[in-house]
Structure 1
């Protein structure tokens, strides 16, 4: 198991399901956690949950689209914890844009999505890099999305913003590698919390599972474990990578779902190869 003793890690968007899961796992592996979110009650609740479990967490209310607040977050982390080793850019927005096709998408919603999903990564990374250099290096981990790697019927702004995160990841890694700063992106596929599963009917879950190479759909812990690895010294020689954590969702031909449903068809294809 990856141990992160002594590392100071900022997690943005920490009040949400994925951010909370990431923060709790990093804390369980002995990191000191700085939780950031615009939701004051939510981020303080997550802080209390971690500390009640014996962790070491502080909370900062931050609008990650505002440069002055992001600078304050970095200064707060350094003041409270003595430095900064890892930044996890997890804050993101999907929301109602998920249901809108491009011709119906308002520019204001496009801009808001870009601000939360892409501008925030730029601002946080820009503000964190000097502190990481002071520390002798560190790791920036950007939470992107498998939606950035293939077309979909909805989520135009979301996918485009995550595509921007992918490119920015490689540029940060290129420009600051000589200062021992690594930058990687994690691209989750379908990962459902217990709450999301409870809201989704079984037929829909089964339909999603047909397109996964592995035996189950993803859960937030699958993403958190990859983040913990990338935050650790074990991942020192990994940088500029886009790691799809999607159970193989985007790496098979479309006919595979049909083949799995129809054993006879599947077996006939195997015999022909």
Structure 2
């Protein structure tokens, strides 16, 4: 349980959902975890829960839409702990207006892309000088989305932003891998969290579950376990990879669920 011992890990957007799952599992593996978000009370609650279980955590206020906030996060963490080993870019602007092409103005589209892709870009830009000082190199893990895997009926700005995160991951790994930087991306499938469960309609859950190859939805810990591996020295040879963690949701043809209902193996 000490796979991340002595590592200082920033998890952006870790006051709810997937971010909490990632942060808690990193702390269980002996990392010092920096909890970030806009809500101080929720952030301190996560810190208290981690420390109550013997982990090490610290909260820093963070706003993905504010470049000064990003700069302050990186500089303050580096000053307090003397290093940053892993940056996990989990925060996203899901509350922003999104939809179809005909429903969005260019300004609304750009706002989502600027936050979800531009914010990830700027966090990497701020952290690179600190990460590159580490003797064993630095580590960046971007949290993408299955929205970038294929077309859908809405949320086009978010999908385009997350597709950009996929490509940003590969470019950062290519540009800075020789300098000791690893950069990988995790694309979650449907992750049911305490914060979103009540907002997901049962009909939507049924559609997803019929296409997931197992018998359950994803949870934050599923993403957290993969992030722990990528953050650890065990993943030293993993770089520039975009990994989908969705229970097999996007691994098959779109007719599998219907064929199951027909008890048919072929058309």
> Which residue pairs with 2:179 in the alignment?
179
Is structure 2 residue 217 aligned with structure 1 residue 217?
yes
Per-residue deviation, residues 80-132 of structure 1 (Å, max 9, x unmatched): 2221100000010223645x211111333322212221111111111111111
Q: 1:7 to 1:114 in 2, by over 3 A?
A: same
2:132 match: secondary structure: helix
- Alignment coverage as a number of residue pairs: 266
Distance in 1 between residues matched to 2:194 and 2:17, nearest whole Å: 10
Residues 91, 116 of structure 1: 8 Å contact kept: no
Is structure 2 residue 87 aligned with structure 1 residue 84?
no
Residues 94, 155 of structure 1: 8 Å contact kept: no
Q: Which moved more, 1:222-231 or 1:38-47?
A: 38-47
Deviation at 1:195, TM superposition (A): 4.5
Aligned pairs (5 A) from 1:190-269: 190-263=190-263, 265-266=264-265, 269=266
> Which residue pairs with 1:116 in the alignment?
115
Residues 17, 195 of structure 2: 8 Å contact kept: no
Residues 2, 232 of structure 1: 8 Å contact kept: no
Task: Name structure 2 gaps, 5 residues minimum.
Answer: none
1:24 match: secondary structure: helix
Residues 32, 81 of structure 1: 8 Å contact kept: no
Q: Which has the higher helix share?
A: 1
Distance in 1 between residues matched to 2:176 and 2:255, nearest whole Å: 42
Normalised to the residue count of structure 2, the TM-score between the two structures is 0.93
> Which residue pairs with 1:31 in the alignment?
31
2:253 match: secondary structure: coil
Cα RMSD of the aligned pairs, angstroms, is 1.8
Per-residue deviation, residues 175-231 of structure 1 (Å, max 9, x unmatched): 111111100010111111145334445443222111112222211111111111100
Q: Which moved more, 1:126-135 or 1:62-71?
A: 62-71
Q: 1:214 to 1:168 in 2, by over 3 A?
A: same
Is structure 2 residue 132 aligned with structure 1 residue 133?
yes
Distance in 1 between residues matched to 2:128 and 2:202, nearest whole Å: 45
Deviation at 1:77, TM superposition (A): 1.1
